[in-house]
Structure 1
Amino acid sequence: MSHPAKGAAISEARLFDDENLRNPYPLYRALRDAGPVIWLEAYGMYMPPRYAETRRALEDWEHFSSAGGVTMNAVMNEKLSGGLLCSDPPRHDALRKVIERPVMPKALSALRERVRAEAKGLIDRLLAKGSFDAATELAQHLPVTIVSDLVGLPEDGREHMLKWAPANFDCFGPLNDRTNAAFPIVGEMVEYAFTQCVPGKLKPDGWAQMIWDAAARGEVSLEDAPFMMNDYMGPSLDTTIFATTWLIWLFARHPEQWQRLRENPALIPSAINEAVRLESPIQNFSRHVAKDVEIGGVTLPAGSRVIVSYGSANRDERKWGNPEDFDILREDANDHLGFGHGEHNCVGKNLARLEMRALLTELLPRVERFELHSAEPFLNNVLHGLASCRVTAH
């Protein structure tokens, strides 16, 4: 498709250029001001940049389909044809039931003490140092140690996860240099999933083995099982790592909010929601328009592709008062779309919250303020994070 639908605002914006990945917010604001539905000429895709239309698209899987692919290029959509991400109900429901079993609140309650103890040991070590990199030394620890162990992947190859996971997300973007460079790296991850993440090589009580057990019972197909490994391998790392890093970065820049949290630790869930709203670790995904649909006064034709922008929607002035402020008292922070929404809301959000809460709980009584020394962006087509964030805890 090479021309926009009637009523769509036309933009030459290049969402995935380095400059806009580093700081996408001025561009998002311009797109929101331009209209409720934008035709992005550079990519041949639509984007509803505002909150209301984004939420509506995420709720309407019959028109805005994930089964038609959630990435912005045909190559990756074809490769991801199995698994949870690229599925619609009723198939999605059957796959999700298996994937989310170990990360439901009741199942996670048994993990709470282990996560707390691991968090305490980590914070003890980092505070003894005084200065540390919140991105690598703090935020990576729980996802890499505990989560990888729980998933139960083979030890051999697991060390590549921090390389594979962001490459996987790079491939969700349009076909650009970053996407093309990531394809061979994702190929390594796919080979690992199909050859190593198999019965006999997985931990018998791990989450990955549970997928094969479900396949043996006929709950999901044997063909789906290796694709479903990606649902644990990719999303469980960087999203939580970046959300945790943003929390520390935000509190370092807003010491009054840290003081407020110290005075009332019951605000921890609100603080996590506000950080995910303001600096959404996943900025943009995609949906396939399965049949003609009207949104924002524009009729999108079947076969077109839409970019759903969590990052833009979460800063929409039409939804949020002072949307660029970090305010842990924000009453509607839980309305954010940073964990997705609708059928495809994040399976691992409860686990991510458990990890972040454990770290904040250990830091609050022992740190009066964070001093920020430097921060370097992590450039990725879809992920939004910091490669480094050096702080001193006082």
Structure 2
Amino acid sequence: MGVQATLSRPISTVDPFSHGFLGDPYPHHEALREAGPVVWLEKYGVWAMARHDQVREALTDWETYCSSAGVGLSDFRKEPPWWPPSIILEADPPLHTRTRAVLTRLLWPNAIKALRETFEREADRLIEKLVARREFDGIADLAEAYPLKVFPDAVGIPEEGRENLLRYGSMVFNSFGPHNDLLREAMTHAGPVRDWIMSKCNRAALAPRGLGMQIFDAVDGGELSEDEAGMLVRSFLSAGIDTTVYGLGNALYCLARYPDQWQTLRREPNLIRNAFEEVLRFEAPVQTFFRTTTRAIEVGGVQLGEGEKVLLFLAAANRDPRRWERSDVFDISRRAAGHMTFGTGVHGCVGQSVARLETEAILAALAKRVESFELIAEPRRRLNNTLRGFDTLPLRITALS
């Protein structure tokens, strides 16, 4: 897969943002893992890590591998970002510590428990409608429809124009790659989308008592400025919607592709949480993120300099046979804890508890009503520089009698 060895470092000529790579990344992941603990990507002049141990170490060591220079290919110290950097995703302590504390408080266990009843009720309503239809698109009718209902409701975002949240997410996650056709397409309507986001994520537009307004309460408490609160609401929405849309779609795909696993889940609904963790490991919705070195460091006998970009292949780490037995097998009985899909350490995805809550509610609603579901046409991939998922997923349901 375009990897060659030199005396000092393995070098790969692969383009991890090409359509071919994004459409089927797993053979390339294997080649990068086997090439070494760190590989030089010649096309972009950056380092890559694809093994579980190295990816985990880089994610954990924020002092050596920083996020404040951008978690994409662009280095914010050398070129200005297209949008003000996220003060949580693209920030390091102490700023990150201060802003994350606000979001963590919003999503502590009691807060998630309060959301659960509403999320489960909406999941039941949606699945009941889809079961009655028998055939539907698992992406538009479920994986997008459900998160775009429950999470913006919880945040306090008006219903009109919520499709802009998906467009905004496409802009954000494609911007972490190069300036390629995927980014250009995502940015086609950037102006109107940014205007909509700005108009809906301020104090005046948010519903009272929603999660968004609770972020603005931190302004009144002196923890955030007004501008910072608006930026956190935007970050909160992308963290709580896009990963869920892609993760939920991938869950439906895996369970349709491996019907024996669905039957196991239906018989043993206590495996629902475990099943989603295995989806996150096996078919990671978040494939990659970048970090930037803050000092020279040696990795596996290779010297990395200060200020160098490092591409972390989260999805490759998730299938590393050094970490996982039968790593290329989808098995919902597996203990999948330790996957890197939502990151780890101080930058672990702040919205992961919401993604889990939403997906578990949908899988539970399906398990109560659906004997089986199957693909009735070839699904179509939605290529993205950072995320992996589907554009269409045609499904047919057989309801429980």
TM-score range, shorter chain: over 0.9
How much has 1:226 moved relative to structure 2?
Answer: 2.8
Moved more, 156-165 or 134-143: 156-165
Q: 2:230 aligns with which of 226, 230, 243?
A: 226
How much has 1:87 moved relative to structure 2?
Answer: 1.0
Indicate yes or no: 2:339 matched with 1:336: yes
Tell me which residue corresponds to 1:180.
Answer: 184
Tell me which residue corresponds to 1:360.
Answer: 363
CA separation of 1:33 and 1:106: change in aligned 2, threshold 3 A: same
Q: 1:123 aligns with which of 120, 123, 127?
A: 127
CA separation of 1:283 and 1:52: change in aligned 2, threshold 3 A: same
Moved more, 191-200 or 375-384: 191-200
Q: Distance in 2 between matches of 1:130 and 1:224?
A: 45
TM-superposition CA deviations, 1:216-267 (whole Å, max 9, x none): 3221233422322321222222211111111111111111111111221111
Would you say the 8 A contact 2:168–2:194 is kept in 1?
A: no
What residue ranges of structure 1 are gaps of 5+ in the alignment?
Answer: none
SS where residue 380 of structure 2 aligns? strand
SS where residue 392 of structure 1 aligns? strand
Q: Distance in 1 between matches of 2:21 and 2:74?
A: 19
Tell me which residue corresponds to 2:26.
Answer: 25
| 1:302-381 paired onto structure 2 within 5 Å | 302-331=306-335, 333-374=336-377, 375-381=379-385
CA separation of 1:82 and 1:134: change in aligned 2, threshold 3 A: closer
SS where residue 377 of structure 1 aligns? strand
| 1:1-394 paired onto structure 2 within 5 Å | 7-74=8-75, 75=79, 77=81, 79-155=83-159, 157-183=161-187, 185-331=189-335, 333-374=336-377, 375-394=379-398
Q: Distance in 1 between matches of 2:80 and 2:140?
A: 29
CA separation of 1:6 and 1:172: change in aligned 2, threshold 3 A: farther
Moved more, 101-110 or 48-57: 101-110
SS where residue 369 of structure 2 aligns? coil
How much has 1:297 moved relative to structure 2?
Answer: 2.4
* Amino acid corresponding to residue 17 of structure 1 in structure 2: S
Q: Distance in 2 between matches of 1:21 and 1:360?
A: 27
SS where residue 195 of structure 2 aligns? helix
How much has 1:67 moved relative to structure 2?
Answer: 1.3
Would you say the 8 A contact 1:67–1:87 is kept in 2?
A: yes
Would you say the 8 A contact 1:76–1:172 is kept in 2?
A: no
TM-superposition CA deviations, 1:136-190 (whole Å, max 9, x none): 1111222101111111234554332122211211111122232234345444444
Q: Distance in 2 between matches of 1:163 and 1:219?
A: 30
Moved more, 249-258 or 195-204: 195-204
Q: Distance in 2 between matches of 1:323 and 1:68?
A: 33
- Percent identity (aligned): 38
Would you say the 8 A contact 2:167–2:186 is kept in 1?
A: no
CA separation of 1:27 and 1:225: change in aligned 2, threshold 3 A: same
Moved more, 186-195 or 111-120: 186-195
SS where residue 371 of structure 2 aligns? coil
* Amino acid corresponding to residue 286 of structure 1 in structure 2: F
Moved more, 378-387 or 180-189: 180-189
Q: Distance in 1 between matches of 2:133 and 2:82?
A: 47
How much has 1:23 moved relative to structure 2?
Answer: 0.9
* Amino acid corresponding to residue 47 of structure 1 in structure 2: A
Would you say the 8 A contact 2:87–2:95 is kept in 1?
A: no
SS where residue 353 of structure 2 aligns? helix
Q: Distance in 2 between matches of 1:195 and 1:264?
A: 45
Aligned length: 390
SS where residue 39 of structure 1 aligns? strand
Moved more, 240-249 or 96-105: 96-105
Q: Distance in 2 between matches of 1:164 and 1:227?
A: 13
* Amino acid corresponding to residue 360 of structure 1 in structure 2: L
CA separation of 1:185 and 1:93: change in aligned 2, threshold 3 A: farther
Q: TM-score, normalised by structure 1?
A: 0.94
